Structure 1
Amino acid sequence: MLDVQIIQLPGNEDIPLPVKMSSGASGFDLYAAVSEPVRIEPGKWKLIPTGVALSMPHGLEAQVRPRSGLALKHGLTVLNSPGTIDADYRGEIGIILLNLGEQPYIVKRGDRVAQLVFMQIPDVRLQVVEQLDETSRGTGGFGHTGK
């Protein structure tokens, strides 16, 4: 079990802290800490504050991901999905919500708008080499298998 510290930023005491909605859930639901309703027109995006900030140990990343219900019912997604929160970031978590639906969407204070999933990040060192090892795939990409 890894410990992640969280603070509720001043003026957001009425906003729930991120919470897993079931015992098997991977993500913690994030809530909108907007001061007034925010209208997101089709094809547009808005930055939605959450009213919380984190302190994570190095080697951990928090990813902001869309909520499947909002995606299915309203066409809402996270623009930079998954959004990355680095271990050394201490500011408020913000969500860039994108409306891919056909109708405007109104975000209200306290709405569940995204989810937060924690991932362990390996300590990687890039090594410059003269040549890469060969594989059967080689440089094939972007649909190279014809499917």
Structure 2
Amino acid sequence: MTPGRAPVGVLIKRVDPDVPLPQYAHPGDAGADLRTTESRVLEPGERAVLPTGVCIALPEGYAAFVHPRSGLAARCGVALVNAPGTVDAGYRGEIKVIVVNLDPRESVRFERFDRIAQLVVQQVEKVSFQEVAELPDSARAAGGFGSTGGHSAVGGTTGGNRYASVVSDREGQ
């Protein structure tokens, strides 16, 4: 919350009367914890849709985004298939989280009311798309998908594509 500003009011309804409401673990946290209402074991590579037991009504001009929990990712290899998931202001159904077990060997067990994701509410802008024949130039232009480097397999931080040059050198041999 920005100092001096009141929090945004979000209406919430429990589908499961016993589920704890989403909560922020620490002051200043961006995401409120979402919990699952059902126990489930995910085998390696398996995915599931886990219910959270809550529905929300966001004010117009806002959306909620379901983000992964870093601890689940680091310790268990759990990721969200569509991260972040988007909850639009007009959606009134139960929030559900699509989880996947990326660990190649170990299963992951979820118990009822385990924290499985974080809900981040943000103000969003409506845009008016204006079709043009050409876009204005920019410093980045169409560079994307690793065009700035930053990983040793693609030339460190120099932006070069080391992999492509290694392949080219080998092809010449």
2:51 to 27, 49, 62: 49
CA offsets, 1:65-96, max 9 Å, x none?
11111111101111100000011000000000
Query: How many angstroms apart in 2 are the aligned matches of 1:139 and 1:27?
Result: 32
Letter in 1 for 2:120: V
User: How many residue pairs were aligned?
Assistant: 143
1:2 to 3, 8, 11: 8
Aligned counterparts, 1:90-129, within 5 A: 90-101=92-103, 102-129=105-132
Higher relative contact order, chain-length normalized (CA < 8 Å, sep 6+): 1
SS of alignment partner, residue 94 of structure 2: coil
- How far residue 143 of structure 1 moved from its aligned partner, in angstroms, is 2.1
Aligned to 1:144: 147
- How far residue 146 of structure 1 moved from its aligned partner, in angstroms, is 4.1
The 3 A distance-change label for structure 1 pair 23 and 146 is closer
Query: How many angstroms apart in 1 are the aligned matches of 2:109 and 2:76?
Result: 10
Identity %: 43
Structure 2 regions of 5+ residues with no counterpart?
1-6, 151-173
Larger radius of gyration: 2
Report the structure, 1 or 2, having the larger helix content. Answer: 2
Aligned to 2:36: 32
Query: How many angstroms apart in 2 are the aligned matches of 1:69 and 1:145?
Result: 29
Aligned to 1:23: 27
Query: How many angstroms apart in 1 are the aligned matches of 2:126 and 2:135?
Result: 21
Report the TM-score when normalising by structure 1.
Answer: 0.92
Report the TM-score when normalising by structure 2.
Answer: 0.79
Query: How many angstroms apart in 2 are the aligned matches of 1:67 and 1:146?
Result: 27
SS of alignment partner, residue 22 of structure 1: coil
- How far residue 144 of structure 1 moved from its aligned partner, in angstroms, is 2.4
Query: How many angstroms apart in 2 are the aligned matches of 1:137 and 1:116?
Result: 32
Letter in 2 for 1:132: L
Structure 1 regions of 5+ residues with no counterpart?
none
CA offsets, 1:12-48, max 9 Å, x none?
22210100011111110001111xx211111111000
